[in-house]
Structure 1
Amino acid sequence: MEEQGNKIRILDRDTINKIAAGEVIERPASVVKELVDNSIDAGATEIRIEVEKGGKHSILIRDNGCGMSKADALLSYEKHATSKLTRIEDLDTVSTMGFRGEALASITAIAKVEILTRPPEELTGTKLVIHGGKVQETSDAGTAPGTSVYVKELFYNTPARRKYLKSDRTELAHITDTVTRLALANPGISFTLLSEGKPVIRSTGSSDLFKSLVNLLGPDTARSMLPLEYRTEDFEIRGYVSKPETNRGGSDQLYVFVNTRPVTSRAINMAVREGYYTKIPKGRYPVAVLALTLNPEEVDVNVHPRKAEVRFSREKEVGDAVIRAVEKVLSEHGLAPEVREKEGKRLQKTFEDPGLSEKIQPQETPATLPEKAAGKEIGVREEAKVSENSRLLKEKSEAYTYPIKDTERRLKKSERLLDSDGKAGIQDGLKKVEPASKKEEEKVNERIKAEEKQSQKLKPKANTDLLEDLRIIGQVSKMYILAEKGEDLVIIDQHAAHERVLYEQVLRTKKARVQELITPVMIELTPKERVLMEEYIPHLEEYGFGISEFGDNTYVVTFVPEVFGRLEDTGVIHDVISDLLAEGKVKKDTGISEKVSKTLACRAAIKGGAACNTRQMEELIEQLKAAESPYSCPHGRPTVITFTKGELDRMFARTQ
């Protein structure tokens, strides 16, 4: 009987290395991170990064670190070759940036690499040329002390990986963000990032973290930051957090470092946000640069091949320490929510438990805890009490509320844009700008008609009978409108509903309606945002933004879309642009346009947590009835939910 061939086989070494490399090297930014980690471990005080075409064509990393001998250089690109571990137990006390010995092996497996290195004590350096994991050249070479690694044609032998890379600007944005985080984590090291020979980041290498904040996040952001320092017996937290008025729509400007390693930690991000609680609106995040120092045995950095995620052995304790640290610095600057009693009267009127003020004494609240001597941990029992009381207070305290004036202003925007004749008066501080010529106006009108016609073909106007003859009952949690239709209960999400109204208006108007700002608005971007801005400017201009470069990382805005209405808060412009640039992962053409439309509508809409009076709720419902698709927001969430009387009866176990 003939034996069948084996179905299971051992993969060859090249295939194994390419598969393993994909776990470590995801994109050009991964190469930059791994090589800069090696430079930091080598004791470098100056690191220079040069990239071309977003790192897809080439990446050059130069440092003035300790360099490598010829023997070490010949071992450095081998799989799991490392100078940082000698035995398995060393994994429990890792204090270096790299330790697995995978990075250089992974890079040389999927790129063409040239390494030049020399220790300061040796007169001659070593040159290695490696293509796809195979050594092409080994020779002596004259070079400065330190190491330079030149990476060309990343993923040249794995085209399936290369085709998934994004645009040059997007890849450069990821590199810029990576270098920004490494520079903030290591303020004593000088970092320079060049793209196509032009400077993107220059960090001077001062040991003063505040100077790094000025260089990397901008003077305006730096001025809004408060120094933070907090110690317990087990943890030390240092850094800066922003004042509540400086906040962002995403958590991309929360920079967290554990033992100088930039990390991603959802638990710490949530802890920072909880430290502010009602001082900033829901869904907003502060700017923060926090360096946590703790025993290496307390943190596992071996969770993921890219070492960006970490796991804490006492995650709750770390999170609680971060919350207390943020609360402490805000209270010291008079910015924390007031929770104490004064002359026997409660300052917060929204505590649900009438006996709460008696149960929680002033000295037990986070704002009034006596400061302990530096380096001493608060007792475990007292710590637990503080954490519990702090959480209880937050559950009972009043949430952030937008004033009713804000609701009125946002409704008026959409009401004015719904005006069929399109005529709106000049607003305070704004000047209406019409299309430049009659010919341009005709083109705009033709485009609008074509879009409306296409929209009607694809999706006929929804039946709005559900929204007819509603009797407003009231508002719940300053988020939902309750209404009665016959015997049915109708619940409307006020933000989602207004977002739908504005989204359709933005799609119709685009550049047809813009406003000139009498006083131009200056916006300060991070290096990553600036890199992406050049790609977005044409699309932002299509929607009515007038944006020009104005110095390093600074832009001036002279026109905005009319959907903003009277621009009382100029910070919303920065919010919109920051939101659009935060990810840098949108497709060209319709992808960017869709994102711009949704972001404009979301930012201009009534917020969750905004007070509405009956007239305003009625006006919003009228505007929603005029929408093409009134029952879902642009992101696909429902705007209206209905409970019939029968469904309510069943919920309460009533029989007919």
Structure 2
Amino acid sequence: MEQTTAGNRRRVRVLPDEIANRIAAGEVVERPASVVKELVENAVDAGAGRVRVRLEGAGKRLIAVEDDGEGMGREDALLALERHATSKIASADDLDTITTLGFRGEALPSIASVSRMRIVTRPPEASEATVVRVEGGKVMAVESAGAPRGTTVEVTDLFFNVPARLKFLKGDATELRHCVETVTQLALVHYDVGFELRSQGRVSLAAPPGQSLEERAAQVAGAEAPGGLYWARAEADGRELVFAFAAPHEGRGHRRGLRLFVNGRPVQDRLLVRAVTEGYRGLLEKGRYPVALLWVEVPPDEIDVNVHPAKREVRFRDEGRVFRWVAGFVAESLAGAPWLSRGAVTPAPEPSRRPELGRVAEAVAGYAERVSAGGGGRAPSSPPARKSRAGAIGRLRMGGAPPVAPSQPGLRFDEPSRGPYDGLRFLGSVEATYLVFQDPDRRELVILDQHAAHERVLYERFLGQGGGRPVQRLLVPVTVECSSAERAAFEERKGALSALGFRVEPFGDTALAVTETPADLPAAAAEAVVRDILGADPAEVAEGHDALARRAACAAAVKARRALDASEAEALLRALSAARHPSHCPHGRPLVVRLGRKELEGMFHRR
């Protein structure tokens, strides 16, 4: 058809199949790992119990995927090479209830259009296999042969007819890493399926069939978490979560250690990344990311898995609810620092094709309600009451914190001695900065950074001021002499100071009077906090209460080189033990180091 407009001649034409297929291939096939992903997903959907992947030249020369699944007859094998041909859906309604990995019907023809492909497939009822040879999208031969049940797809000379695409591939080491990561991701979802990946004849990944989720995660991802993985499980409102995580101090400077799965599908989802990161608030330093795995199960009609050609992304129908639920679940799972618990054992998730989850709906729903009421996705304002469960690492719980009695100036906390630091004996301090304790049960030295520990305690209490936490009225107000800039900032930030538990009033033209402070804060620290909040960067103030609570805690916490006596050190330890996150300061830095007998003996060459 031709169209002419003002001397401008345009020609609209239907593209030939060859060009259309190459365009489709550009959406689906980015690199060898894309081919591996599509072929392995097809194998899993075909009911394979074992999947073997063989690579040469990091997949550039050869990608072979062999499975023992259902296989195909001759007619289906040829039809599978047509665009939009699929056995996964039959009507538009099926798009709302997709449970398979592949469904678009574009993978095989797209891959075949930019490679030389050989398919060998036999269903269980057939006496012989069908062999189909394809080159650049054109079927070159169809033959019969003997072969075991299942399907083998061999892809050679990837991008042989698209040299521009071939130029953009990275080196073999990089491309192989992507292939290994792709198979690893699928192995972490389909843990009952056996996977083997070989490159240049060497085994890069071997996972036997019939494993539990815990066994598969320990084998495939365990090397990324030398300290082990901790498990938490939850179910509420038809949604299910499994969370496996390393201690925060084992975090990385990149996101590759964070793996996300939705309804049995590995995804790269920004919403879930933000939700998990929110749950880690105050436990990771800036620029660090957790080593963690999160499996999410929601009803199929609540997500759209058809938003990306390669199915790497999903879209949730109610993103706000999912964000709050995941962030709350992660925060509850991390509460109490299970990696500090003595003798704790992670419970293995129930074995099944997809994770079966325990029911702790009230804890997660309670967190979601608190976050929704407070806004901004902040962590709960008060630490939950501790509940222990035999053998459970993921201590999901809810409730209020024990009452805090007002204290006199100094480090005095009337908190019950219950938590990960029970039974420690104070030995002394180093440089009046690091508190040294002995753990007689575990035969370890425990070293605390006194400033970071006190900072964590105060931070959580500042977060709780809006929830009716006690304040103390000062008999003698603390006077703060202000610069003109500080005096001007006061009018803008007095609400923020009030939310932290401070009552501050103008005192003449150039000063302020602090008449109330949080009950457990020494009056001497009031001036430092007020000055720090008044001098904070506007961008930090705009971040909200959480950022100001961190700043106030840092200003008020006991400083390095300030010697603590035994009673103060023990009081600080008790208060820290009752904290929601007793292992990291509010900026995400670890505040405790444990040295076991083996480490000490090694230092003295006594092994």
TM-score w.r.t. the length of structure 2 is 0.57
**Contact 2:32-2:59 at 8 Å conserved across structures:** yes
Per-residue CA distance 1:260-308 (angstroms, 9 max, x = gap): 1000111111111211211222221211111111111101010010000
Percent of aligned positions with the same letter in both sequences? 40
- Residue type of the alignment partner of 1:147: T
Query: Does residue 186 of structure 2 align to residue 201 of structure 1?
Result: no
CA distance in 2: counterparts of 1:42 and 1:290, whole angstroms: 25
SS at match of 1:278: coil
**Contact 1:24-1:30 at 8 Å conserved across structures:** yes
CA distance in 1: counterparts of 2:266 and 2:133, whole angstroms: 31
**Contact 1:105-1:133 at 8 Å conserved across structures:** yes
CA distance in 2: counterparts of 1:157 and 1:32, whole angstroms: 19
**Contact 1:232-1:378 at 8 Å conserved across structures:** no
Q: Whose helix fraction is larger, Structure 1's or Structure 2's?
A: 1
After TM superposition, give the deviation of residue 381 of structure 1 in Å. Answer: 9.3
Query: Does residue 307 of structure 2 align to residue 307 of structure 1?
Result: no
SS at match of 2:148: coil
CA distance in 1: counterparts of 2:104 and 2:588, whole angstroms: 48
Which of 74, 79, 85 lines up with 2:89 in the alignment?
85
Which of 18, 22, 25 lines up with 1:14 in the alignment?
18
Instruction: Name 2:465's counterpart in structure 1.
Output: none
Residues 274, 379 of structure 1: CA spacing in aligned structure 2 closer, same or farther, 3 A cutoff? Answer: closer
Instruction: Name 2:136's counterpart in structure 1.
Output: 132
- Residue type of the alignment partner of 2:101: M
Instruction: Name 1:269's counterpart in structure 2.
Output: 273
- Residue type of the alignment partner of 2:299: N
SS at match of 1:160: helix
CA distance in 2: counterparts of 1:52 and 1:334, whole angstroms: 43
CA distance in 1: counterparts of 2:31 and 2:300, whole angstroms: 28
Per-residue CA distance 1:378-431 (angstroms, 9 max, x = gap): 898984334434858649899xxxxxx99x9xxxxxxxxxxxxxxxxxxxxxxx
Residues 609, 312 of structure 1: CA spacing in aligned structure 2 closer, same or farther, 3 A cutoff? Answer: closer
SS at match of 2:175: helix
List runs of 5+ in structure 2 lacking aligned partners. Answer: 341-357, 384-429, 434-528, 538-585, 590-607
Instruction: Name 1:384's counterpart in structure 2.
Output: 369
Residues 328, 382 of structure 1: CA spacing in aligned structure 2 closer, same or farther, 3 A cutoff? Answer: closer
**Contact 2:325-2:368 at 8 Å conserved across structures:** no
CA distance in 1: counterparts of 2:279 and 2:72, whole angstroms: 46
SS at match of 1:245: helix
SS at match of 1:114: strand
Instruction: Name 2:178's counterpart in structure 1.
Output: 174
Which of 31, 42, 63 lines up with 2:67 in the alignment?
63
Residues 476, 54 of structure 1: CA spacing in aligned structure 2 closer, same or farther, 3 A cutoff? Answer: farther
After TM superposition, give the deviation of residue 222 of structure 1 in Å. Answer: 6.2
Instruction: Name 1:253's counterpart in structure 2.
Output: 257
Residues 201, 379 of structure 1: CA spacing in aligned structure 2 closer, same or farther, 3 A cutoff? Answer: closer
SS at match of 2:169: coil
**Contact 1:214-1:222 at 8 Å conserved across structures:** no
Instruction: Name 1:94's counterpart in structure 2.
Output: 98
**Contact 2:227-2:247 at 8 Å conserved across structures:** no
Which of 72, 76, 84 lines up with 2:76 in the alignment?
72
CA distance in 1: counterparts of 2:334 and 2:275, whole angstroms: 14
SS at match of 1:151: strand
Which of 12, 29, 46 lines up with 1:42 in the alignment?
46
Query: Does residue 245 of structure 2 align to residue 241 of structure 1?
Result: yes
CA distance in 1: counterparts of 2:96 and 2:234, whole angstroms: 25
Per-residue CA distance 1:552-586 (angstroms, 9 max, x = gap): xxxxxxxxxxxxxxxxxxxxxxxxxxxxxxxxxxx
**Contact 1:29-1:175 at 8 Å conserved across structures:** yes
Instruction: Name 1:545's counterpart in structure 2.
Output: none
List runs of 5+ in structure 1 lacking aligned partners. Answer: 337-372, 399-404, 409-473, 482-606, 611-656
- Residue type of the alignment partner of 2:255: S
TM-score w.r.t. the length of structure 1 is 0.53
Instruction: Name 1:105's counterpart in structure 2.
Output: 109
Per-residue CA distance 1:485-512 (angstroms, 9 max, x = gap): xxxxxxxxxxxxxxxxxxxxxxxxxxxx
Query: Does residue 378 of structure 2 align to residue 374 of structure 1?
Result: no
After TM superposition, give the deviation of residue 9 of structure 1 in Å. Answer: 2.6
Residues 379, 35 of structure 1: CA spacing in aligned structure 2 closer, same or farther, 3 A cutoff? Answer: closer
Residues 137, 210 of structure 1: CA spacing in aligned structure 2 closer, same or farther, 3 A cutoff? Answer: same
Residues 289, 383 of structure 1: CA spacing in aligned structure 2 closer, same or farther, 3 A cutoff? Answer: closer
- Residue type of the alignment partner of 2:290: P
SS at match of 2:65: strand
Instruction: Name 1:164's counterpart in structure 2.
Output: 168
CA distance in 2: counterparts of 1:126 and 1:66, whole angstroms: 13
- Residue type of the alignment partner of 1:87: S
- Residue type of the alignment partner of 1:20: A
After TM superposition, give the deviation of residue 224 of structure 1 in Å. Answer: 2.5
Query: Does residue 285 of structure 2 align to residue 281 of structure 1?
Result: yes
Query: Over aligned residues, Cα RMSD in angstroms?
Result: 3.6
After TM superposition, give the deviation of residue 214 of structure 1 in Å. Answer: 2.5
Residues 283, 140 of structure 1: CA spacing in aligned structure 2 closer, same or farther, 3 A cutoff? Answer: same
Residues 382, 174 of structure 1: CA spacing in aligned structure 2 closer, same or farther, 3 A cutoff? Answer: closer
After TM superposition, give the deviation of residue 205 of structure 1 in Å. Answer: 2.3
After TM superposition, give the deviation of residue 7 of structure 1 in Å. Answer: 2.9
**Contact 2:279-2:379 at 8 Å conserved across structures:** no
* Residues 487-502 of structure 1: pairs in structure 2 closer than 5 A: none
- Residue type of the alignment partner of 2:167: K
Instruction: Name 1:298's counterpart in structure 2.
Output: 302
Moved more, 166-175 or 279-288: 279-288
- Residue type of the alignment partner of 1:306: A
* Residues 139-538 of structure 1: pairs in structure 2 closer than 5 A: 139-219=143-223, 221=225, 223-331=227-335, 333=337, 374=359, 383-389=368-374, 394=379
Residues 211, 132 of structure 1: CA spacing in aligned structure 2 closer, same or farther, 3 A cutoff? Answer: same
SS at match of 2:248: coil
Instruction: Name 2:118's counterpart in structure 1.
Output: 114
CA distance in 1: counterparts of 2:233 and 2:10, whole angstroms: 63
After TM superposition, give the deviation of residue 325 of structure 1 in Å. Answer: 1.6
Per-residue CA distance 1:109-148 (angstroms, 9 max, x = gap): 1110000000112111100000011111101110110000
**Contact 1:51-1:60 at 8 Å conserved across structures:** yes
**Contact 1:117-1:145 at 8 Å conserved across structures:** yes
CA distance in 2: counterparts of 1:261 and 1:609, whole angstroms: 31
Residues 222, 88 of structure 1: CA spacing in aligned structure 2 closer, same or farther, 3 A cutoff? Answer: farther
Residues 393, 24 of structure 1: CA spacing in aligned structure 2 closer, same or farther, 3 A cutoff? Answer: closer
Per-residue CA distance 1:449-493 (angstroms, 9 max, x = gap): xxxxxxxxxxxxxxxxxxxxxxxxx9979x999xxxxxxxxxxxx
Residues 57, 219 of structure 1: CA spacing in aligned structure 2 closer, same or farther, 3 A cutoff? Answer: closer
SS at match of 2:195: strand
Per-residue CA distance 1:599-626 (angstroms, 9 max, x = gap): xxxxxxxx9999xxxxxxxxxxxxxxxx
CA distance in 1: counterparts of 2:119 and 2:377, whole angstroms: 58
- Residue type of the alignment partner of 1:374: R
